[in-house]
Chains A and B, each alone.
Chain A
Amino acid sequence: MSQNTAAATPESKKPVSRKDMTMAQWTIKEMKRNYIGYVMLAPFYILFLTFTILPVVLSVVLSFTTFNMLEPPVFVFLDNYIRLFLDDDIFLLAVKNTFIFAAITGPVSYLLSFLVAWFINELPPKIRAIVTLVFYAPSISGQVYTIWATLFSGDSYGWVNGWLMQLGFIAEPIQFFQNATYVMPLCIVVALWTSLGTAFLSFIAGLQTVDKSLYEAAAVDGIKNRWQELWYITLPVMKPQLMFGAVMAITGSFGFGGIVTALCGFPSVDYAAHTIMHHLEDYGGQRFEVGYSSAIATILFFMMVGANALIKKLLSKVGQ
């Protein structure tokens, strides 16, 4: 270490130590010394900054303005937020819907992902590969949820309608996706069906990395049943995967919007399945009010960050 420093600064007569420098000086010096590392990081950081950090920052800045995409933004400070919380009933409705969505689909799909992954993990490898594909298929084949549109089509030839009419429960077709009573439950079902995605895969991967010898050691230490095994060994070992799955579940359930639009139209009848994502689209796309929609996006962003922190806390309790 000291040799290195000496080699890097051969001209300087007196050896410089950390104590003699300000924080900034020291940082720059260290950066210069490790510049290869920074060069290697650069491609990712440049992309990450321009396409992730910058838009988030821009969006926060824009949320303090009115901006219609065609004319320069005008600074209005907190007006957008004031209107959002005090004079926008639809936004509150959207928040409610989003929380219902997130509260049901998030945990349920998370648990479901884990349970299914756990069960599948018990299968012989060849069968496991096939069953994994079966469960994962809905989320890889993007537009496949349109099958629900056919299933619950409002046409009298739609599957469910045709079937119900045949059995004599109804006389005319029900407009499942245009009726406020059915829209929300249906969307939740579809969301759950498509939610066995990346999280599920990472759980399977996680389950397979658990060291078998740990179970043996635990058996010696007095583990009594599979539940204890799961709680004290399996889950703590695969915490990184659990965390990853949780993040995916949160972003998935909060950002759930596209499928609703595809099935129920935009906006859904009586805003029955109107989530924050929809509200954002509504203002950003249809009404040319990008400033306002940036404010919505900012709120959504912080909601997700908050939920993330909460999940982290919960997960730290695993295995205790």
Chain B
Amino acid sequence: MKNLKLTKPIALLLSGLMLVSTFTVTAAAAETDNGSGNDSSKVGQSISEVMELLNATTYAEYKVTHKEKALGKNAITIAGTDYDTEKTDAKVSVDTYGGEKALYTPELGTVVYNVDVPSDGLYMIEMDYYPIAGKASNIERALRIDGKIPFKESRYLSMTKIWKDDLSDIGESDTAFEQDPLGNDVRPMAIEAPDWATYEFKDATGYYNEPFQYYLTAGTHSLELEATREAVAIGSITLKPYDAPKSYEEVSAEYASKGYKAVSSDATVKIQAETPVRTSTSTVYPTYDRSSAISEPQDASKIRLNTIGKTTTWQSVGDWVEYTLTVNETGLYYIVPRFQQSEQPDMFVSRKLYINGELPFAEAGTLQFAYDDEFQAKPLNDGTTEFQFYFEAGKEYTLRFEVVLGNMAELISEIEASLVNLNQIYLKIKQITGATPDQYRDYNFIELIPNELNLLIVESANLYDFSARLEAITGERGSNCATLNEIARIADRMGRDEDEIAKNLSKFKANIGTLGTWMNTARKQPLQVDFFSVQSPDVALPKANANAFQAFAFEMSQFVASFFTDYNSLGSEAGGEGESISVWVTTGRDQSQIVRQMINDMFTPQYGVPVELKLVAGGTLLPATLAGNGPDVAYMGGSDPVNYAIRNAIQKLDGFDTFDEVCARFSDQAIVPFTLDVTDNPATEEDEGEAAGVYAIPETQSFSMLFYRQDIFADLEIEVPTTWDELKAILPVLQSEYMEIAMPQKLAGFTLLYYQRDGELYADGGMRINLDSNLALDTFKELCDMFTQYKFPLTYDFANRFRTGEMPLGIADYTMYTQLNAFATEIRGLWAMMPLPGYEMEDGTVNNTATTAVSGLVMMADAKNPENAWKYIDWITSTDAQSRYGNEYTALLGNGTIHPTANKEAMMNMNWSSTELETLMAQFNKLRATPEYPGSYIITRYVDFAFLDAYNNNADPVEAMLSQYIFINKEISRKRAEFGLDTLEMGETLASRAEEAAAAETGEAE
């Protein structure tokens, strides 16, 4: 412990020194940025924001700077409605919430409060707030004081909302949850239950266990709360000195002096963990454990919701779960959870316990749950002491368990700081050497990056220290320590001997990656709890695991039950009068269960149509249709709908009366790939246009966005490109630093550029491909040049290289945003998403159309009841259904996922902040889809061949394309002939045919 105390200030001092050096670099960049002046305002602003963030100190440093400062004296409270009307730019309004007057603040804009501080000192800030029901995300705000961010973490303040399980459907039954027709428990839907709550301004990542203490001098200050996510009503804001909670030692001494005694053995009260009163988020919900025979309740063949937090659903810092407790006997109790922590080997996870909204003692903030494969039942403890709690009979207590990092917090935050430094060093070295350094070359690192070399040695010492501390905290020398030691060893060698740098760089990078991954896991605190037994310390602990006999009996009955249960059937809701329809989904089991639940709650009650939902493997639809066992409604994407349509396997949908209404939900382009266009068909004149029409209704729609690293762009003093010319202009700057750009290639890249120039992929109504036009050839050449002349990489892992900064600019699917947001936490706030670059048109506007891919729902040709099937398609693609599906999807699968809905309005209701949505919508309104015609599969391969010919063999792109497009036309004609459609001869166009016909006519006439 002594060692720890000594090294901490040294480490902080050194990291402070290092920060000074980066500060100078970024400050210089900021100056030039301001000097250039003619930035496009949006990008300029965001770069200045990045600057602000880069220059801000961390709270750890802020704490050191203000260590000597005294605590503030008195508490100061400002009512929420007393805001500064002049400086506030958010559209606020005063309203009554839960019986109290409060200030409504929307998800956009800043609210400013002026506060008179009587004396200098450190103040923590508390806010009474009322969450406004909205999306499935926390409320996020940034706090500036007098226009400045005091420290980085102050930008990410996160207030939880209040949710509860909707148990209104249970009615008279005596089960805890609603059950489906097969007798399985059904997960209740989480609904928002807004109520007044208090938020202490604290770190959203959980790196600091205490609330933030802001240093304020005497006088008037302005507190500026900038909204980043979700609306909230502010009741009041209180500044007060931080009052550290008592230690357990003090509290238990107090109990002893008051003569509190342990309760008698029959005072035990059990709280089932799966039925919390309230939770902070919809992602913490009742789960089912089928591994242990004695989980309560348990059944061999039916699903019984019996735990909370299984499969890492209750693990993110800040998530809490609340229970109420009333005991029959006054006295001291143990709280004994029966829990399982089998996700974090060699580590413990932590929880913070609030009783009636307060910490009973300091150690209740760092409760530990050790690792074990099996269930455990141990009184709440902090690794050393098992705690006793005092409860009075008849009084109702609320117990809130909140996810915290506990005793790991400090260590994790320091390792992350180290990781950021190591990453920067790696990037610096890579800018000198490129991806594959030559170990025999003298790069002269000592001259070029002396600071970085010193820093490597410093960080190495830090890492050795972290490893020792980790071992001390967890009591084990696990693989995590080994990783830390390994990086420390390499960093030390690289720092001391510059010849070792090139040799070890790839190993260094791999280890940084490992460390980053470990950081991400270590931040998660997964815990599954079956129940809490509140009992006398003198009674035996509840049994943690089933004995051999129980386990055997349970497994046997599970085995027997497996012969009688159809696990694939998701059941059909009885009760609807109408004829039932069958729907096949190919998604994961979790997603299909959301749909099942939604059908039960929304569809069947409203339309009276029961739905038989089946989860099937992909590729089963075709054989099932062949055998006549297909469903009524199925999900399909790509070219399948048109392929099925032209073979009369699915029904045309534009005849249904609400068709236009349904189509209005999507962008015009979304139904393009689902439209069968065979009107130019003189061969079958009698049913001309009969088959033509729309055959599917869109459900998901994906498109690309541009991602870029703000910090790197600021560092290199370059702007984010909005046109291809600008992109090519910054290319030399990036490439001189060995940085690359991710660009779609082959057909995807071609259509992107081609559509931005208003090109058409097909000509003559799908009878031939339009790749021999001048525009197409020109575009294709431009694409090939990007990869041959400008050397864009063809194979890469975008997410990884974006994180390391090797690929600071790239085009990727927009869902990458949520992924990076959730997993690349080390670059949080340092990157952004933008609409794609485009071509500058003659009128000065930029055409930055993106290509889009759609998947949707189809109705099979032999659907028994088309009207009912249509009702389902209509309903599932509606805004209500899509919004709910999207929110539950994110809730269930975590923050790294998002449902890419095709419904325009539902898109607004997804888990996006208003600024993110604005950016997305800017692109969403400029999409273009490729139409589908018979034979479309052939295009990809021949365009790819032409592209690879140009790339591999330096062939002339134009010639490469001209030699391949004929094959495409040949196949299209062949395929059209198969369906009895009109075809063109080689080299013929509709126009040339008309001319010939005219010529022949005139010839005949003569």
Interface of A with B (CB < 8 Å)?
Answer: 66, 68-71, 153-158, 162, 165-166, 168, 172-173, 175, 178-181, 267, 269-270, 286-289
Which residues of chain B come closer than 8 Å to A180, judged between CB atoms?
948, 952
Q: Which of B47-55, B468-476, B640-648 contacts A (4 or more CB under 8 A)?
A: B640-648
Considering the complex, which residues of chain B in the window 769-827 have a beta carbon less than 8 Å from any beta carbon of chain A?
Answer: 791, 793-797
B41 at the interface (CB under 8 A from A): no
* CB closest chain-B residue, reference A180: B952
Option from B625, B644, B795 in Cβ contact (under 8 Å) with A155:
B795
- Evaluate contact between A70 and B944: CB separation under 8 angstroms: no
Considering the complex, which residues of chain B in the window 491-508 have a beta carbon less than 8 Å from any beta carbon of chain A?
Answer: 506
- Evaluate contact between B978 and A173: CB separation under 8 angstroms: no
Considering the complex, which residues of chain B in the window 893-952 have a beta carbon less than 8 Å from any beta carbon of chain A?
Answer: 937, 941, 944-945, 948-949, 951-952
CA A263 – CA B152 in complex, angstroms? 46
Option from A66, A70, A154, A286 in Cβ contact (under 8 Å) with B644:
A70
How many chain-B residues does the 8 Å CB contact rule pick out?
A: 31
Which residues of chain B come closer than 8 Å to A287, judged between CB atoms?
937, 975
Which residues of chain A come closer than 8 Å to B945, judged between CB atoms?
269-270
- Evaluate contact between A69 and B622: CB separation under 8 angstroms: yes
B175 at the interface (CB under 8 A from A): no
- Evaluate contact between B625 and A166: CB separation under 8 angstroms: no
A-B residue pairs in contact (CB < 8 Å), sample of 9: A70-B625, A70-B649, A71-B648, A154-B794, A162-B436, A166-B438, A173-B795, A270-B949, A287-B937
* CB closest chain-A residue, reference B626: A69
* CB closest chain-A residue, reference B437: A166
Which residues of chain B come closer than 8 Å to A267, judged between CB atoms?
941
Option from A68, A69, A165, A172 in Cβ contact (under 8 Å) with B791:
A172
Option from A66, A173, A269 in Cβ contact (under 8 Å) with B944:
A269
Which residues of chain A come closer than 8 Å to B795, judged between CB atoms?
153-155, 158, 173, 175
> Apart from A168-B438, A175-B948, A289-B978, what 20 extra A-B contacts exist at CB < 8 Å?
A69-B622, A70-B647, A70-B649, A154-B794, A155-B796, A156-B435, A157-B435, A162-B435, A166-B436, A166-B438, A175-B795, A175-B951, A175-B952, A178-B948, A178-B951, A178-B952, A181-B952, A269-B952, A270-B948, A287-B975
* CB closest chain-B residue, reference A157: B435
* CB closest chain-B residue, reference A89: B967
Option from B626, B793, B978 in Cβ contact (under 8 Å) with A156:
B793
Mask, B630-644, CB within 8 Å of A = 1, is 000000000000011
CA A301 – CA B791 in complex, angstroms? 46
CA A156 – CA B807 in complex, angstroms? 13
Which residues of chain A come closer than 8 Å to B643, judged between CB atoms?
288
By DSSP majority rule, is chain A's interface helix, strand, loop, or mixed? loop
CA A294 – CA B796 in complex, angstroms? 39
Which of B623, B644, B795, B941 gathers the greatest number of chain A CB atoms within 10 Å?
B795
CA A173 – CA B795 in complex, angstroms? 9
On whether A179 and B948 interact (CB within 8 A), knowing A66-B978, A155-B796, the answer reads yes
Q: How far is the CB of B623 from chain A (nearest CB, A)?
A: 8
Which residues of chain B come closer than 8 Å to A158, judged between CB atoms?
795
Considering the complex, which residues of chain B in the window 582-634 have a beta carbon less than 8 Å from any beta carbon of chain A?
Answer: 622-623, 625-626
- Evaluate contact between A269 and B649: CB separation under 8 angstroms: no
Which residues of chain A come closer than 8 Å to B794, judged between CB atoms?
154, 173, 175, 178
CA A267 – CA B938 in complex, angstroms? 10
CA A155 – CA B437 in complex, angstroms? 15
* CB closest chain-A residue, reference B509: A157
CA A255 – CA B649 in complex, angstroms? 32
Q: How far is the CB of A247 from chain B (nearest CB, A)?
A: 30
- Evaluate contact between B647 and A71: CB separation under 8 angstroms: yes
Which of B436, B626, B937 gathers the greatest number of chain A CB atoms within 10 Å?
B436
CA A287 – CA B948 in complex, angstroms? 23
CA A66 – CA B437 in complex, angstroms? 58
CA A173 – CA B941 in complex, angstroms? 22
- Evaluate contact between A173 and B793: CB separation under 8 angstroms: yes
Which residues of chain B come closer than 8 Å to A166, judged between CB atoms?
436-439
Which residues of chain B come closer than 8 Å to A70, judged between CB atoms?
622, 625-626, 644, 647-649
Which residues of chain A come closer than 8 Å to B437, judged between CB atoms?
166
Which residues of chain B come closer than 8 Å to A181, judged between CB atoms?
952
Q: How far is the CB of A16 from chain B (nearest CB, A)?
A: 48
Which residues of chain A come closer than 8 Å to B975, judged between CB atoms?
287
Q: How far is the CB of B367 from chain A (nearest CB, A)?
A: 43
Q: How far is the CB of B942 from chain A (nearest CB, A)?
A: 10
CA A289 – CA B937 in complex, angstroms? 13
On whether A68 and B793 interact (CB within 8 A), knowing A175-B948, A269-B944, the answer reads no
Which residues of chain A come closer than 8 Å to B937, judged between CB atoms?
286-287
CA A153 – CA B793 in complex, angstroms? 12
Which residues of chain B come closer than 8 Å to A270, judged between CB atoms?
945, 948-949
CA A166 – CA B435 in complex, angstroms? 9
Q: How far is the CB of A190 from chain B (nearest CB, A)?
A: 18
CA A267 – CA B647 in complex, angstroms? 25
- Evaluate contact between B952 and A179: CB separation under 8 angstroms: yes
CA A178 – CA B746 in complex, angstroms? 12
CA A269 – CA B952 in complex, angstroms? 11
Which of B649, B791, B793, B941 gathers the greatest number of chain A CB atoms within 10 Å?
B941
CA A144 – CA B89 in complex, angstroms? 60
Q: How far is the CB of B246 from chain A (nearest CB, A)?
A: 55
Which residues of chain B come closer than 8 Å to A155, judged between CB atoms?
793, 795-797
CA A311 – CA B649 in complex, angstroms? 46
Which residues of chain A come closer than 8 Å to B439, judged between CB atoms?
166
Mask, B246-289, CB within 8 Å of A = 1, is 00000000000000000000000000000000000000000000
Q: How far is the CB of A253 from chain B (nearest CB, A)?
A: 25
CA A289 – CA B934 in complex, angstroms? 13
* CB closest chain-A residue, reference B941: A267
* CB closest chain-B residue, reference A181: B952
* A-B pairs with lowest CB-CB distance, top 3: A154-B795, A70-B647, A70-B649
Which residues of chain A come closer than 8 Å to B506, judged between CB atoms?
162
Q: How far is the CB of B795 from chain A (nearest CB, A)?
A: 4
* CB closest chain-B residue, reference A265: B944
* CB closest chain-A residue, reference B979: A68
Q: How far is the CB of B591 from chain A (nearest CB, A)?
A: 26
CA A9 – CA B212 in complex, angstroms? 103
Which residues of chain A come closer than 8 Å to B625, judged between CB atoms?
69-70
Mask, B964-980, CB within 8 Å of A = 1, is 00000000000100100
Which residues of chain B come closer than 8 Å to A269, judged between CB atoms?
944-945, 948, 952
CA A182 – CA B436 in complex, angstroms? 23
Which residues of chain B come closer than 8 Å to A288, judged between CB atoms?
643, 647
CA A165 – CA B433 in complex, angstroms? 12
Which of B435, B439, B625, B648 gathers the greatest number of chain A CB atoms within 10 Å?
B435
* CB closest chain-A residue, reference B622: A69
Q: How far is the CB of A317 from chain B (nearest CB, A)?
A: 45
CA A260 – CA B529 in complex, angstroms? 48
CA A131 – CA B944 in complex, angstroms? 43
Q: How far is the CB of A106 from chain B (nearest CB, A)?
A: 28
CA A166 – CA B437 in complex, angstroms? 7
Which residues of chain B come closer than 8 Å to A154, judged between CB atoms?
794-795
Which residues of chain B come closer than 8 Å to A165, judged between CB atoms?
435-436
CA A151 – CA B49 in complex, angstroms? 43
Which of A71, A162, A269, A286 gathers the greatest number of chain B CB atoms within 10 Å?
A269
CA A160 – CA B569 in complex, angstroms? 49
Which residues of chain B come closer than 8 Å to A175, judged between CB atoms?
794-795, 948, 951-952
On whether A68 and B647 interact (CB within 8 A), knowing A156-B435, A175-B952, A179-B952, the answer reads yes
Which residues of chain B come closer than 8 Å to A172, judged between CB atoms?
791
Which residues of chain B come closer than 8 Å to A71, judged between CB atoms?
647-649
Q: How far is the CB of B857 from chain A (nearest CB, A)?
A: 18
Which residues of chain A come closer than 8 Å to B793, judged between CB atoms?
155-156, 173
Q: How far is the CB of B950 from chain A (nearest CB, A)?
A: 12
CA A155 – CA B806 in complex, angstroms? 13
CA A99 – CA B317 in complex, angstroms? 61
Which residues of chain A come closer than 8 Å to B797, judged between CB atoms?
155
Which residues of chain A come closer than 8 Å to B949, judged between CB atoms?
270
Q: How far is the CB of B696 from chain A (nearest CB, A)?
A: 16
